[in-house]
A and B are shown apart, each in its own frame.
Chain A
Amino acid sequence: GQSLEQPSEVTAVEGAIVQINCTYQTSGFYGLSWYQQHDGGAPTFLSYNALDGLEETGRFSSFLSRSDSYGYLLLQELQMKDSASYFCAVRPISGNTPLVFGKGTRLSVIA
Chain B
Amino acid sequence: DTGVSQDPRHKITKRGQNVTFRCDPISEHNRLYWYRQTLGQGPEFLTYFQNEAQLEKSRLLSDRFSAERPKGSFSTLEIQRTEQGDSAMYLCASSPTGGHSGNTIYFGEGSWLTVV
- Of B4, B31, B103, which contacts A31 at CB under 8 A? B103
A33-B104 contact, Cβ under 8 Å, with A41-B109, A42-B109, A43-B91: yes
Contacts of B102 on A, CB cut-off 8 Å?
30, 91, 98-99
Q: Is the interface of B mostly helix, strand, loop or mixed?
A: mixed
Known A30-B100, A43-B91, A103-B41; judge A98-B105 contact (CB<8 A).
Answer: yes
Are the CB atoms of A98 and B45 closer together than 8 Å?
A: yes
The answer to whether the Cβ of A44 comes within 8 Å of any Cβ in the partner chain is yes
Measured between beta carbons, the chain A residues less than 8 angstroms from B41 are 103-104
Cα-based distance from A48 to B101 in the complex (angstroms): 10
User: A4-16, CB under 8 A of B: which get 1 and which 0?
Assistant: 0000100000000
Q: Which residues of A contact B107 (CB under 8 A)?
A: 42-44
Check A87 against B43 for contact (C-beta < 8 Å): yes
Does A97 lie within 8 Å of B110, measured CB to CB?
no
**A44, A96, A99, A102, most chain B CB atoms within 10 A:** A99
The answer, yes or no, to whether B98 is at the interface (CB within 8 Å) is: no
Q: Decide yes or no: A30 and B103 within 8 Å by CB, A42-B91, A98-B48 being known contacts.
A: yes
> Is A103's CB under 8 angstroms from B56's CB?
no
Does A110 sit at the interface, judged by CB under 8 A?
A: no
Residues from chain B with a CB closer than 8 A to the CB of A91 are 102-103
Do A98 and B100 touch (CB < 8 A)?
no
Identify which of residues 53-111 in chain A touch chain B, using a CB-to-CB cut-off of 8 Å.
Answer: 87, 89, 91, 95-104
B42 in complex: contacting residue of A41, A48, A98, A103, CB < 8 Å:
A103
What's the Cα separation between A104 and B43 when bound, in Å? 9
**Known contacts A43-B107, A44-B107: does B100 contact A97 (CB below 8 Å)?**
no
Other than A89-B42, A96-B55, A104-B42, give 11 A-B pairs with Cβ distance below 8 A: A33-B103, A41-B109, A42-B107, A43-B43, A48-B103, A48-B104, A50-B103, A87-B42, A98-B31, A98-B56, A101-B43
Q: Which positions in B face A, CB cutoff 8 Å?
A: 4, 31, 33, 35, 40-45, 48, 55-56, 91, 100, 102-110
